[in-house]
Every structure is written in structure tokens, then in C-alpha cells.
């Protein structure tokens, strides 16, 4: 029922007006050092979070903690605006943070990072609260993390156990990440595959996320063809099919496999996807890649920019639907990503115009 969205969506439209504007980013980019940046950030809606973070931290770490706390509180507030079906659908969207948090913990364990290095990356808004995430981060290794997840009967545990070596061998991080991603997207697809128009909106969003993940896998392997023999040996396969999320999104995984198998390089892959919905974003990224630093993150950023523009249109066209919380949460997450990017650039003295080109404006 669209009436279930009236109150919450009205609140979120008002909150959207308070997101940072291009002028705010310009002000922050103009700061000469990280101390000036922190002072300026404290004059924005992040004031309370910056002041609290400053009691324990300074510099970039202070900024990262402030925006993390602000994002966590904001997402919880979005959840509180709704009841019934809208709240259940928002909880499905929050699963992406369970995935994000578990991936961060698995990577930290693989690198033998201290819990204090992992915790700042976590956003405790999904099934796992901050206490649970801290406990997982403190485990003495990957196996211990999976064991504790099994004891807690977390839905992701079974997927991870299926690829965990039976012997004493160290679990393979790449295989754990792939198993977690596949379970995450499969379970979400099942939850939204049948139902009303709001579930259809989430399904389309999910398909786009899968496509973006698969595209980045293809781009990385095309960028580093020397990895292909290792992949073929590890997965006993002649192509990249085992590395892709299936079922895929709008893009056929078979088409992606064939394009990568042609070994024509990044330009060939981009040209081969010209007729898809992602063609313009990939072409823009390719042009920037050629004239810039040659980093693959350019492709990731342009695909994100394309996705945010689509959500902006959906925000306008579907005012009484899940599109409003979906769009708002995405813009808020993007705002945090922009602030982290600017803070690092100011701290390192990077070229401000190059950083400005990386920003995504909602």
C-alpha cells in the first residue's frame, strides 16, 4: 500500500534537502590542511559527530569516525520512519551492510590486522550489531570467525563453510569472498523476485549491483591478463565463469565470459559493451582512464555515478514507493564517500581539481 510510505517518504524528502551541496564540497576542497578541513566539517550537519570524534581522534581518522557515526545513525533513523512492508524492505537493503561488514572482517583476518584497524570500516545497521561485529573482529583467525558465525547460526556461515578447506590449510580469502557474495545476492533475489512494484524496484537495484560487481571483475582481469593462468589453475576452468555472480543481473554472464576470453584488452571490452545500459558510463570511464592515471577505480566511480543518476530519476517518478528510501540512503552513502575522498586528498595535498572530478553529486 502506497499509504505506508507517506510519512517516511515525506521525512526523507526533507532530509534530502539537507544533504551537502556542490558549494559545500567546494569549501571543503579549498582547505589547506586536514585541521582546516575538520574545522569546516564541524560547521556542517556533521558538527555533533566531529565534536565527539575529536575527543578521541584527530586528522583523517577523526573525519572517518565522524562520517561513519553519522551514516550509522542516519540509516537507523531511516529505518525508524517506517513500519510494515516498507520497514521489511529497508531491512532487506540493510543486508548489504552485513555483507560489507563481514567482508571487512574477513579481509582484516586474512591480513592479520588488529581489531582496531577493522572496526572503523564497519557500519552496524544490519542483522549484526556493533557488539557482535567487535566479537567477530577479535577472533584469532578466519576459521575462528567462521566457527563463531556457525555457532550464532548466521545465514552466511553455511556458504563460507562450503568453501572452507577440510584440512588444516588456511582458508582462501578470494573463495570466501566469492561464496559470501553469491549467497548474499542469491538470498536477496529470492526475497524480492515475486511481489509488488516495490519489490520490482529492489530487484532492478539488485540486478544493477550484480552487474557492477561482475563488470569490475571482468575489468580487473582484462587489466591484468597475467592472472588468467592462475585462475584457470585454481578453478580448473578455461574461462572466468566461476568468478562471476550468478544468476547475473541485466548483463548475460556468458557474454561477459566471451568478451574477456577474446583477450582484446580494456578497450575491446568497453567496445563490446557499448550497446548495453552501461555503455555510456564505461565509455566515459575509458576516456578518463586513457588521459588520467590509468586506475581501474575510474570505472567503478563512473558506474556508481550512472547508478546514482538512475536512482535520482526513480526518486522523481516513484514518489510513493521504496524508491525514496533507496535513493536517499544511496545519496547519503555517496556523501560519506565524497567526504572521505576529500579528507584524504587534503591530508595528502593532492590536486584538488582531479579530486573534484571524482566526486559524485546527487
The conformation of residue 246, written as its DSSP 8-state character, comes to S
Model confidence band, residue 169 (pLDDT cutoffs 50, 70, 90): confident
Q: How far apart are the first and last CA of the chain?
A: 28
- The total number of residues shown for the chain amounts to 362
Mean pLDDT of 277-289: 97
Rounded (5°) CA angle 57-58-62: 70
**What confidence score (pLDDT) does residue 176 get?**
95
DSSP string, 134-179: HHHHTSSSHHHHHHHHHHTT-HHHHHHHHHS-SSSPPPPHHHHHHH
Higher pLDDT residue, 241 or 281? 281
* Residue pLDDT, tens place only, 27-74: 999 999 999 999 999 999 999 999 999 999 999 999 999 999 999 999
Arithmetic mean of pLDDT over the chain? 94
* Whether residue 166 has pLDDT greater than 80: no
Model confidence band, residue 341 (pLDDT cutoffs 50, 70, 90): very high
* Whether residue 336 has pLDDT greater than 60: yes
* Whether residue 362 has pLDDT greater than 80: no
Q: Percent of the chain beyond pLDDT 70? A: 99
* Whether residue 121 has pLDDT greater than 90: yes
In the chain, helix, strand, coil percent, each to 5? 75, 0, 25
User: What residues contact residue 118 under an 8 Å CB cut-off, 6+ apart?
Assistant: 104, 105, 108, 137
Predicted model pTM = 0.94
**What confidence score (pLDDT) does residue 1 get?**
53
Burial of 35 from C-beta contacts in 10 A (0-12 / 13-18 / 19+)? middle
* Residue pLDDT, tens place only, 203-254: 999 999 999 999 999 999 999 888 888 887 877 777 899 999 998 899 999 9
**What confidence score (pLDDT) does residue 167 get?**
62
Delimit the domains of the chain by residue range.
2-96+194-356, 97-192
**What confidence score (pLDDT) does residue 238 get?**
76
**What would the CATH number be for the domain defined by 97-192?**
1.20.1690.10
* Whether residue 319 has pLDDT greater than 80: yes
Stretch among 8-12, 88-92, 225-229 having the lowest mean pLDDT: 225-229
Contact 152, 132 (CB under 8 A): yes
Amino acid at each position: 500500500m502506497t499509504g505506508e510510505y507517506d510519512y517516511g517518504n515525506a521525512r526523507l524528502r526533507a532530509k534530502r534537502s539537507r544533504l551537502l551541496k556542490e558549494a559545500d564540497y567546494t569549501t571543503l576542497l579549498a582547505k589547506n590542511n586536514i585541521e582546516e578541513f575538520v574545522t569546516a566539517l564541524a560547521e556542517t550537519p556533521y558538527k555533533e559527530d566531529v565534536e565527539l570524534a575529536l575527543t578521541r581522534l584527530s586528522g583523517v581518522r577523526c573525519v572517518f569516525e565522524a562520517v561513519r557515526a553519522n551514516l550509522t545513525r542516519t540509516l537507523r533513523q531511516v529505518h525508524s520512519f517506517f513500519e510494515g512492508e516498507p520497514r521489511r524492505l529497508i531491512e532487506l537493503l540493510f543486508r548489504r551492510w552485513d555483507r560489507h561488514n563481514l567482508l571487512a572482517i574477513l579481509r582484516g583476518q586474512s591480513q592479520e590486522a588488529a581489531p582496531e584497524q577493522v572496526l572503523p570500516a564497519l557500519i552496524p545497521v544490519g542483522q549484526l550489531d556493533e557488539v557482535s561485529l567487535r566479537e567477530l573482529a577479535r577472533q584469532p583467525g578466519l576459521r575462528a570467525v567462521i566457527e563463531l558465525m556457525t555457532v550464532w547460526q548466521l545465514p552466511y556461515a553455511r556458504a563460507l563453510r562450503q568453501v572452507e578447506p577440510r584440512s588444516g590449510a588456511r582458508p582462501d580469502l578470494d573463495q570466501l569472498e566469492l561464496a559470501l557474495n553469491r549467497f548474499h545476492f542469491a538470498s536477496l533475489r529470492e526475497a524480492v523476485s515475486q511481489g509488488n512494484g516495490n519489490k520490482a524496484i529492489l530487484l532492478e537495484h539488485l540486478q544493477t549491483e550484480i552487474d557492477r560487481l561482475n563488470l569490475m571483475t571482468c575489468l580487473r582481469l582484462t587489466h591484468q591478463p597475467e592472472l588468467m593462468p592462475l585462475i584457470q589453475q585454481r578453478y580448473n576452468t578455461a574461462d572466468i565463469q566461476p568468478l562471476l555472480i550468478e544468476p547475473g543481473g541485466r548483463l548475460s554472464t556468458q557474454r561477459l565470459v566471451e568478451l574477456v576470453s577474446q583477450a582484446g584488452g580494456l578497450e575491446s571490452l568497453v567496445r563490446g559493451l557499448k550497446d548495453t545500459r552501461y555503455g555510456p558510463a564505461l565509455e566515459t570511464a575509458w576516456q578518463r582512464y586513457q588521459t588520467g592515471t590509468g586506475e581501474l577505480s575510474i570505472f567503478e566511480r563512473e558506474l556508481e555515478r550512472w547508478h546514482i543518476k538512475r536512482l535520482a530519476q526513480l526518486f522523481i517518478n516513484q514518489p510513493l514507493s521504496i524508491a525514496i528510501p533507496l535513493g536517499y540512503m544511496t545519496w547519503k552513502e555517496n556523501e560519506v564517500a565524497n567526504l572521505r575522498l576529500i579528507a584524504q586528498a587534503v591530508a595528502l595535498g593532492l590536486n584538488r581539481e582531479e579530486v573534484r572530478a571524482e566526486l559524485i553529486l546527487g
